[in-house]
Structure formats: C-alpha cells, structure tokens
Amino acid sequence: MTTSRAQEVAEVLFELKRAGKVATFSTIASRAGFTSGTTGRSVLTALKTVRRDWPHLQWWRAIDDKGMLPRNSEHAKKLEESGFEISDAEGKHEDQVTIVALDEHLMQWNESGDEQAAV
C-alpha cells in the first residue's frame, strides 16, 4: 500500500524531473510536508515505495543533504546517465562522489511554493 508520504515525494520527484534538477532529502521532505528524519531516513523509506510503485519516476534525483553518493553506486550511475557530471568528493570521502557544480543543479522553491532557478 502506498503511503501519503510516498505520494507526496512522488509529486516532488515529478517536479524535479520536469525542471531537470535534483534536491536534497531535507528539501524534498519539506516540500512534501514532513521532516526528513535522521540522515534522511523518512525520505529513504518513501523512496523505496516510489521505486516499487512508480518505477518510471526518477528517484535518483533525491540526494543526501551533503550531496555525497557512494562511488560506483546505481544512484551515481543514474545521475551520470542523465547528464549530470560526477566527480570524486573532496576531503575524507574517498569512497564517495558528488555532482559537479551541485548548487547549480539543486532545485529551489520560493515561499509560495513556486519553482525558481537554483541560486
């Protein structure tokens, strides 16, 4: 059974797909009307349902709040296949990658809920 959270997350993912953007777990949760939970746990749970019930939605547009992805993961590969440039993460994150120029690709919504360009 699909949860209302998963339905709300699915709607946000559809917005991201239309805009060609990505968003962090916290931003997606806020847009969907709930909190992301510890390390995005609530969003990750909703994403599992989205992947099962709406496989055509681009679940991989949801990224953790730090913008990090496991190297060679399905997540990173899906982003690359969609035209996002991926590079090694800096610092202590040897086994992780990130989206190049991440800030340019992050979806932003204004207070009225309308889409606006990434800052």
Taking a C-beta distance cutoff of 8 angstroms, is the pair 21, 106 a contact?
Answer: yes
According to the model, what pLDDT value does residue 37 have?
82
Tokens of 106: 């992050």
According to the model, what pLDDT value does residue 110 have?
78
Neighbours of 2 (CB within 10 A): 13
117 pLDDT tier (thresholds 50, 70, 90): very low
Q: Does residue 99 surpass a pLDDT of 80? A: yes
Tokens of 40: 């995005």
Q: What is the set of domains in the chain, with CATH numbers? A: 4-110 (1.10.10.10)
pTM for this structure? 0.87
Q: How many angstroms separate the CA atoms of 8 and 80, rounded?
A: 26
The amino acid at 116: Q
pLDDT tens readout for residues 40-92: 899 999 999 999 999 999 999 999 999 999 999 999 999 999 999 999 988 77
